[in-house]
Amino acid sequence: MSKQAIGVFDSGVGGVSIWKEITALLPFEDTVYLADSKNAPYGQKSKEKILEYCIKNTELLIEKGCKIVVVACNTATTNAIAFLRENYNIPFIGIEPAIKPAALQTRTNAIGILATRGTLSSELFHTTSQKFTAGIEVIEQIGEGIVPLIEAGQIDSPEMIALLKQYLNPMLDANIDHLVLGCSHYPFLIPTIKKIIGDTITIIDSGEAVAKQTDAILKERNLLNNSTSISHHKLYSNSQIETLSLMLQEWNHQYTIKKLNF
């Protein structure tokens, strides 16, 4: 079982930001990545629909022999991970907006969070937010329109810059000193975001924490691959594969990208 791959899925190419952290921390693990780009964005969909997609993705990863599933999508995690953990006999790692470190570190007592509607309206997000942000001003912003642009490969197009300015300027006015990226697509925007907010605001995403948690759970369950041979990575998209390839530029490991109907 320990030689089996780590399965990762997202509503599209966003989870690649998490997947890169996992492959960096665990270089001898094989992986299978599913980009459900056909159904992106999840963020605007109902909880029932999100659950349906998560079940479909999970069952495909299990069918492909994965030993663990990383839900590399905040929207999917906040809406479906409890169900997945209850119904499948395999460990799941989720991703949630890193609101706790931002709340603990803020000095201006104002933090911003950019995430999807599905994440910001979820019960799990509300519970976490309430727990850590008493007395702190939290500027929540739905990043409507961002994910489709990223899925189309637009990271710093004029349209993206205009959208980001619209979402981030009110946070600058509120004097935030931490910006939480609550969607796995958004780390690809960090250089563009920095052009708008500058270098003094700390940008926090959850990629590294998810990789560490994956490592910890694999160790705890005795599932870590102890081989030191070259790992293999299989990535599948159910839409066009160009954007997925774009996200992997400069990533020099062995991998294959294929289109697959799922």
Point out the residues that are catalytic: 73, 183
Give the residues across from 8 on adjacent strands.
Answer: 33, 70
Determine, following the binding rule CB under 6 A, whether residue 10 of this chain makes contact with ligand DGL. yes
Tokens of 34: 């599913």
In whole angstroms, how close is the CB of 228 to ligand DGL at the nearest point? 32
As a dihedral over the C-alpha atoms of residue 194, residue 166, residue 139, residue 82, rounded to 10 degrees, the angle is -90
Q: In this chain, which stretch among 39-47, 100-108, 163-171, 238-246 interacts with ligand DGL, using CB under 6 A?
A: 39-47
Distance CA 26, CA 28 (A): 6
Distance CA 86, CA 217 (A): 17
In whole angstroms, how close is the CB of 156 to ligand DGL at the nearest point? 18
With contact defined as beta carbons under 8 Å apart, do 129 and 99 qualify? yes
DSSP state of 260: -
* Total residues at interface with ligand DGL (CB under 6 A): 16
Residue with token string 């399965």? 7
Distance CA 63, CA 260 (A): 14
37, 116, 122, 238: which one binds ligand DGL (CB under 6 A):
116
19, 33, 42, 167: which one binds ligand DGL (CB under 6 A):
42
41, 94, 112, 187: which one binds ligand DGL (CB under 6 A):
41
Give the residues across from 68 on adjacent strands.
Answer: 6
Helix (H, G, I), strand (E, B) or coil at 229: coil
> x/- string (CB under 6 A) for ligand DGL, residues 14-33?
x-------------------
In whole angstroms, how close is the CB of 126 to ligand DGL at the nearest point? 16
> x/- string (CB under 6 A) for ligand DGL, residues 163-192?
--------------------xxx-------
Interface residues toward ligand DGL, by CB under 6 A: 10-11, 14, 40-43, 73-75, 116, 119, 147, 183-185
